[in-house]
A = this chain, B = another copy of it.
């Protein structure tokens, strides 16, 4: 017979410890410690459950014939728990989706995408996030500079779930194709996803009322007003800074590629604050200003 495990705490699930449904019948998925009378006995995250279970490391070692330290036990649970029914829907995609419209401004996302994909020596072997290019169709998209990028997804094939949505500036935001991005951003904000918008993409956000509930910036207040028209009701929320992060939304002007990267990397906890700052300063100040020769 196949060994069953509680789909919440991972303990071996024998008939003696089955949880109960609302009508009192046994529940086949969860143990009685986790699930009773049709609901979970405690509201917790996967990580909290791991902490909780790790208290019983000695007992688990005894029963399983292992000899793990508490840290090793937690690590094992971190591998195993995402496969359990209770937690598997919590797994958040690690893809950062970049919306590329024709004539996009390539300089506006290079620092972000490079930091996402690599550490300071570009040797990050298990990056926290993965960059994906999303375009209206699967046809190559040309940057202002004339280079052609192959999309990883089209608007039609892009996944529902992702870690962040980044709208790269450029000249596409004032063209009809930009309208197709409106429902994508709307859904992202409803779901509380991280959304970044730089340069004309910030103006696009103003135009569709997406900046009315957050502090924000863009290519100057005048530009936001012109693009936003009646839909932009939050000029008091404008901050004259290179980049502004508020809640889940990060905005920036077109010269703020490094500040935009810094705010998004911080919000996404891509690295430690110290290392994010180091990356920012290295590129902002430049190697020769930071490191002089004696």
**Chain A interface residues (CB < 8 Å from chain B):** 103, 105-107, 109-111, 113-114, 116-118, 122, 130-133, 140, 143-150, 171, 219-221, 240-242, 253-256, 259, 282-283, 285-289, 291-293
Contact, CB under 8 Å: A144 / B114? yes
Known A140-B150, A150-B140, A220-B291; contact A145-B110, beta-carbon cutoff 8 A? yes
Given A106-B113, A110-B145, A144-B118 in contact, is the A219-B287 Cβ separation under 8 Å?
yes
Contacts of A113 in B (CB 8 A): 106, 143, 145-147
Partner of A110, one of B110, B130, B220: B110
Nearest-CB residue, chain B, relative to A107: B110
Copies in the complex: 2
A151 to chain B, nearest CB (A): 9
Residues of B within 8 A of A122 (CB): 103, 144, 171
Contact (A288, B110) CB under 8 Å given A122-B171, A146-B117, A147-B133: no
Q: Are A148 and B149 in contact (CB under 8 A)?
A: yes
C-alpha spacing A111/B113, complex, angstroms: 16
Decide if A259 touches B286 in the complex (CB within 8 Å).
yes
Q: Which residues of B contact A282 (CB under 8 A)?
A: 255
User: CB-CB < 8 A to A288: which residues of B?
Assistant: 240-242, 253, 256
Closest to A148 in B: B150
Q: Separation in Å of the A19 CB from the closest CB of chain B?
A: 44
CB distance from A96 to the nearest CB of B (A): 10
In the complex, chain B residues whose CB is within 8 Å of the CB of A241: 288
